[in-house]
């Protein structure tokens, strides 16, 4: 199995230090993974699309790389003469699609060049320092044009808990252990972290109602997910073999698939989610590349009592490197907590290592029919819940469908989200012998339904 982006090289050396001082780990800063400078050391180098505060209204967006508390403006860096060539030409626009389309060799060359240029003692320091922006003072937008968005269902723990609420006698349907289940989402309503989310209206139906009514959802929920941006893509009619699937993954971000559970319960049979999920999907601004995640690869395995994947979804390298230990968490702040400046209360933690289906399998299955993926397409993992009930990635699970309210430190209770609530997703990776890196945060605040 070819594995671009999985092999370790000098860019992962935990001893590397940057001339950007804020990128160098400070043990006293802690490891909360809530978007601090600690998320973006020189070993990370994630990509995003940013604009200086004064330039956003004018549409002056450019591709940047997060480094500590700064962003390296790549258009400015190329114009300074520090970098040049076809790889870098693709990084001077306002979207990452062209760079994603170049494929792993280009991605790896750029990563090595950036690592060299940003290391302590680099001869390019003088040329690049004027190209730095203050990360706390830039605006973000979705970093690529997302033509298509597919949301998978890769956590067997989430699938089982939700299934138990809907079908107590058969929580997990027979196909789950054989098929990476997914639905096609709505790319037009994917929004960048920080964008407020308006409570949606939809058809609601409960047992005491003779007929459905149109009303604001009463059971608004979040979903803790990751999502992979597709790289070069494949031609229509040309499935991607499992051994080549990793080459299609440019990188990962956090994703919140906001869900109206009462709308979903009424509409989802027989074709699955529709209006319950099309009103907003939030993504974090930084794409952490497949290469940066190499030190945190872990064996992927299947319980011996479960059916093993069909041949097109299996390969020996999956068993050694198929999983990724990304440690995820959900923070919640109520309006009262926000008013007094309180930190988000962490309501759950989980790890992507526990996913039943891995990234390579998602790509191989999505394309087995000959479906063509394109640069910038988004493949979400579905809610990432762990084996313990406290590791649930949604309120639907944490509150047993609203029956057992979540009690916050303020004494407030939540069965589902209320207007003014702020949800923050965060994630990081750490392991012995590697520098800790983070994915930043994905945040959204609930606005009341429109009149």
Residue with tokens 């494929």: 103
Q: Enter the DSSP assignment of 284.
A: -
Known active-site residue 12: no
Closest to 45 in 3D by CA, of 379, 424, 440: 440
Cα distances (Å, whole numbers) of residue 369 to 25, 272, 313, 375, 379:
46, 20, 13, 18, 16
For residues 65, 69, 75, 81, the Cα torsion angle rounded to the nearest 10 degrees is -100
Half-sphere exposure in the Cβ direction for 114 (13 Å, CA): 29
Closest to 60 in 3D by CA, of 98, 93, 96, 100: 93
The answer to whether the beta carbons of residues 426 and 439 sit under 8 Å apart is: yes
| Distance, CA of 1 to CA of 305 (rounded, Å) | 26
| Distance, CA of 64 to CA of 99 (rounded, Å) | 12
Q: Which is the catalytic residue, given 158, 315, 365, 366?
A: 158
| Distance, CA of 307 to CA of 290 (rounded, Å) | 28
Residues known to be catalytic? 158
């Amino acid at each position: 199995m070819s594995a671009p982006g999985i092999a370790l090289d000098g860019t992962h050396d935990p001893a590397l230090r940057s001339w950007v001082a804020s990128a160098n780990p400070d043990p006293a800063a802690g490891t909360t993974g809530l978007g601090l400078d600690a998320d973006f050391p020189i070993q990370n180098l994630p990509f995003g699309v940013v604009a200086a505060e004064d330039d956003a209204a004018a549409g002056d967006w450019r591709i940047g790389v997060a480094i500590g508390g700064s962003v390296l403006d790549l258009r400015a860096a190329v114009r300074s003469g520090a970098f040049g060539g076809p790889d870098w030409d693709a990084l001077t626009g306002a979207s990452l699609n062209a760079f994603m389309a170049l494929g792993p060799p280009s991605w790896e060359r750029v990563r090595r060049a950036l690592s060299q240029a940003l290391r302590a003692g680099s001869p390019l320091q003088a040329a690049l320092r004027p190209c730095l922006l203050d990360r706390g003072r830039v605006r973000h937008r979705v970093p690529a044009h997302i033509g298509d968005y597919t949301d998978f269902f890769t956590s067997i723990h989430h699938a089982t808990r939700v299934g138990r609420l809907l079908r107590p006698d058969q929580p997990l349907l027979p196909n789950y252990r054989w098929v990476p289940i997914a639905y096609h989402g709505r790319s037009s309503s994917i929004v960048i972290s920080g964008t407020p989310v308006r409570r949606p209206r939809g058809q609601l139906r409960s047992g005491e109602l003779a007929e459905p009514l149109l009303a604001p959802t009463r059971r608004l929920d979040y979903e803790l997910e990751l999502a992979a941006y597709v790289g070069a893509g494949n031609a229509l009619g040309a499935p991607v073999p499992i051994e080549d699937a990793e080459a299609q993954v440019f990188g990962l971000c956090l994703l919140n698939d906001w869900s109206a559970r009462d709308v979903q319960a009424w509409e989802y049979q027989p074709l699955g989610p529709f209006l319950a999920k099309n009103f907003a999907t939030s993504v974090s601004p930084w794409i952490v590349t497949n290469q940066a995640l190499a030190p945190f690869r872990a064996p992927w395995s299947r319980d011996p009592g479960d059916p093993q994947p069909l041949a097109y979804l299996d390969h020996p390298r999956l068993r050694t490197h198929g999983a990724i230990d990304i440690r995820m968490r959900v923070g919640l702040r109520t309006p009262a907590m926000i008013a007094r400046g309180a930190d988000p209360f962490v309501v759950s933690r989980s790890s992507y290592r526990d996913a039943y289906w891995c990234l390579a399998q998602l790509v191989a299955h999505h394309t087995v029919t000959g479906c063509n993926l394109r640069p910038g397409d988004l493949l979400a993992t579905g809610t990432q819940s762990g084996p313990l009930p406290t590791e649930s990635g949604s309120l639907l699970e944490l509150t047993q469908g609203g029956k057992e309210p979540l009690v916050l430190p303020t004494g407030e209770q939540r069965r589902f989200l209320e207007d003014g609530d702020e949800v923050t997703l965060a994630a990081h990776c750490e392991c012995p012998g590697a520098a800790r890196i983070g994915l930043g945060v994905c945040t959204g605040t609930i606005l009341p339904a429109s009149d």
